[in-house]
Amino acid sequence: MRTFQYSYFYWKIYDSYNFGKNLVNSGIRTEHAFQYFHSQDEEILLCDEPKLVLTITATNRNKISKNYYLTQVAKEIHFQLTQCGERCHNIIPIICDASGEFNEEVDYLSRFFHKVEINSKNQNGNIFEKEKRDYINCLSEALKYSPEFILQLQDDALPKPGLFDYINYLMMSSHVKKALYVKLYHPERLQNYFQPEPARWLEWTGISFLISFSYNAFYYYKSGRTCTRNWISLFLLSAIALELIGRPYLIELRRVHPSLLSLAPASECCAPAMLYPRDGALRTANLLSESVSSKVNPFDIALYHLMRKTKASAYVIEPNLVEHIGFVSSIRTWAH
pLDDT digits 0-9 by tens, 29-73: 999 999 999 998 888 877 878 999 999 999 877 655 678 899 999
Task: State the Cα–Cα distance between residues 328 and 333, nearest whole angstrom.
Answer: 6
Domains and CATH numbers, the chain: 40-190+254-324 (3.90.550.10), 198-245 (no CATH)
E strands, the chain, are 52-58, 91-97, 114-117, 149-154, 157-159, 181-183, 262-265, 273-277, 314-318, 322-324
Task: State the Cα–Cα distance between residues 12 and 28, nearest whole angstrom.
Answer: 25
Give the pLDDT score at 328: 54
Task: State the Cα–Cα distance between residues 289 and 87, nearest whole angstrom.
Answer: 35
The one-letter amino acid code at 119 reads N
Close Cβ partners of 229 (under 8 Å, ≥ 6 residues apart): none
Cα–Cα distances in Å, from 161 out to 101, 112, 203, 322? 32, 20, 26, 9
Cα–Cα distances in Å, from 299 out to 8, 44, 64, 264, 284? 31, 31, 23, 21, 11
Give the pLDDT score at 329: 55
Element (H, E) at 334: none
State the CB neighbour count (10 A cutoff) for residue 243: 16
Q: Is 115 helix (H, G, I), strand (E, B) or coil?
A: strand
Task: State the Cα–Cα distance between residues 87 and 92, nearest whole angstrom.
Answer: 13
Give the pLDDT score at 184: 96
Angle at 294 between CA 288 and CA 297, to 5 degrees: 70
Give the pLDDT score at 9: 57
Give the pLDDT score at 292: 84
Cα–Cα distances in Å, from 49 out to 91, 149, 328? 9, 12, 36
Q: Is 324 helix (H, G, I), strand (E, B) or coil?
A: strand
Task: State the Cα–Cα distance between residues 161 and 107, nearest whole angstrom.
Answer: 26
CB 264 within 8 A of CB 134: no
Task: State the Cα–Cα distance between residues 97 and 102, nearest whole angstrom.
Answer: 9
pLDDT < 50 positions in the chain: 1-2, 13, 333-336
Give the pLDDT score at 153: 96
Return phi, psi of residue 51, to 5°: -85, -35
Give the pLDDT score at 161: 94
Per DSSP, what are the bridge partners of residue 318? 262
Q: What is the CA radius of gyration of the chain?
A: 22
pTM of the predicted model as reported, rounded to 2 decimal places: 0.86
Give the pLDDT score at 276: 97
Task: State the Cα–Cα distance between residues 75 and 276, nearest whole angstrom.
Answer: 23
